[in-house]
Structure 1
Amino acid sequence: MKFSIKQTQLYKFLNYCNEYNLEKTILDCGAGGANPPLYIFEKSGYKTYGIEISDSQLEKARNFSNQAGINLNISKGDMRKLSFEDQSLSYIYSYNSIFHMSKNDIQKSINEIKRVLKPGGLCCLNFLSLEDEGVGTGKELGNNEFLQMERGEEVIHSYFNIDEAESFFSDMKIIYKENRIIERLYEGKKIKQGYIDYILEKSK
């Protein structure tokens, strides 16, 4: 079966998770798509859970699971209101997903992630930076928040300066941070993307 993960930074997160002596439970907030990254955690012995708000992306993930003969436990859900008990999961990530909402909703989502995460657990989040070429395009909704076209659909993109997002998780320990600027070809056109990646530990 063909499997290709584009979010290679999640391999780094997997390595960090493997170093911690916690129950191997993990949640992906934004888990849909034809190549769900939860697969690499399932293959490493983790009990996986995923939520996805898009019906089409959820269907793609379910098709993958059926073809692979596995159950990644991906269901319809909204990261602004997680249906998990307090302090119930060891590891959580939202990669290339959480910035598709307003900054107010991002705050709600991160509060939910912190609620569900076990003490000493890890989460991995990434944000669009002001280095990204998308800043300023589309309809402005708020402070560096824009409604933009992506794959034929209107979606929100929120952009952050280098330290701005840290106000959301000032009560957590930053154990990894990377400011990435990528130039690549997309549909024959050179584009510039900017991301700020975090791996964070919840206080014990």
Structure 2
Amino acid sequence: MKLVLRQPQLYRFLSYCNESNLEKTILDCGAGGDLPPLYLFLEHGYKTYGLEISDSQLNKAKEFSGKNEVKLNISKGDMRSLPFEDESISFIYSYNSIFHMTKKDIEASINEIKRVLKPEGICCLNFLSLNDEWYGEGKELGKNEFLQIERGEEVIHTYYEINEAEKHFEDMEILYKEDRVIERVYEGKMIKQGYIDYIAKKSNL
């Protein structure tokens, strides 16, 4: 099966990974769903690992794996405490997942990602920006942190100013950054979404 991702930015991340000389191992933090992006990396010869905290999303990923007879190695887990040794994975991403936590937990998760990344390993993360049309809605939990309804459930959405996330990458080399605003039809309505994408490389020191 040829996979076409709903997250086209991960194709750019794949190209950065393919240019690296590191072993082709990759971890997805937030790997569940009915169309796991890890499949794209599996197609390109990567040894894949994934963590998913939601049972329903994990079950969807397992159904996908069974239907397509692939082993993506997605298991239940929390990105705030990654079950991997220091400097053991070459490439790590968390796409459209990490901002469903408070800023305190986001920082803990990014520290874990940096711990597990190999020297010169590359990570890809994205954050919600203040340009998103849902910014400010819902119950406020902290500065730019809100509990909002998504698909009938209460979900944390945390928003960042344009340069706010730079602090997480001060000990890394930022290879790519993009401030995106997109408009698309969602559930029959045109919506505006704002994201800030990063691809960063860990130092080899």
TM-score range (shorter-chain normalised) is: over 0.9
Equivalence map 1:1-204=2 (5 Å): 3-204=3-204
**Which residue identity lines up with residue 75 of structure 2 in the other structure?**
S
Query: Within 1, Cα distance between the matches of 2:89 and 2:148?
Result: 33
Query: Within 2, Cα distance between the matches of 1:121 and 1:186?
Result: 35
Structure 2: runs of 5 or more not aligned: none
Contact 1:171/1:203 (8 A) holds in 2:
yes
Contact 1:110/1:169 (8 A) holds in 2:
no
Query: Within 1, Cα distance between the matches of 2:2 and 2:173?
Result: 37
Instruction: Show structure 1 runs of 4+ deviating over 6 A.
Output: none
Q: CA deviation at 1:96?
A: 0.2
Q: CA deviation at 1:2?
A: 7.7
**Which residue identity lines up with residue 175 of structure 1 in the other structure?**
L
Query: Within 2, Cα distance between the matches of 1:11 and 1:184?
Result: 20
Structure 1 stretch displaced more, 180-189 or 13-22: 180-189
Q: CA deviation at 1:189?
A: 1.1
Q: CA deviation at 1:124?
A: 0.1
Contact 1:17/1:122 (8 A) holds in 2:
yes
Q: CA deviation at 1:3?
A: 4.4
- Percentage identity across paired residues of the two chains: 72
Provide the aligned C-alpha RMSD in A: 0.9
Structure 1: runs of 5 or more not aligned: none
Structure 1 stretch displaced more, 164-173 or 91-100: 164-173
Query: Within 2, Cα distance between the matches of 1:168 and 1:17?
Result: 20
Q: CA deviation at 1:35?
A: 0.2
Query: Within 2, Cα distance between the matches of 1:3 and 1:200?
Result: 25
Contact 1:4/1:35 (8 A) holds in 2:
no
- TM-score normalized with structure 1 length: 0.98
**Which residue identity lines up with residue 164 of structure 1 in the other structure?**
E
Contact 2:89/2:118 (8 A) holds in 1:
yes
**Which residue identity lines up with residue 158 of structure 2 in the other structure?**
S
Q: CA deviation at 1:188?
A: 1.5
Q: CA deviation at 1:68?
A: 0.9
Give the number of equivalent residue pairs.
204
Query: Within 2, Cα distance between the matches of 1:193 and 1:51?
Result: 25
Query: Within 2, Cα distance between the matches of 1:116 and 1:73?
Result: 17
Q: CA deviation at 1:111?
A: 0.2
Query: Within 1, Cα distance between the matches of 2:56 and 2:184?
Result: 27
- TM-score normalized with structure 2 length: 0.98
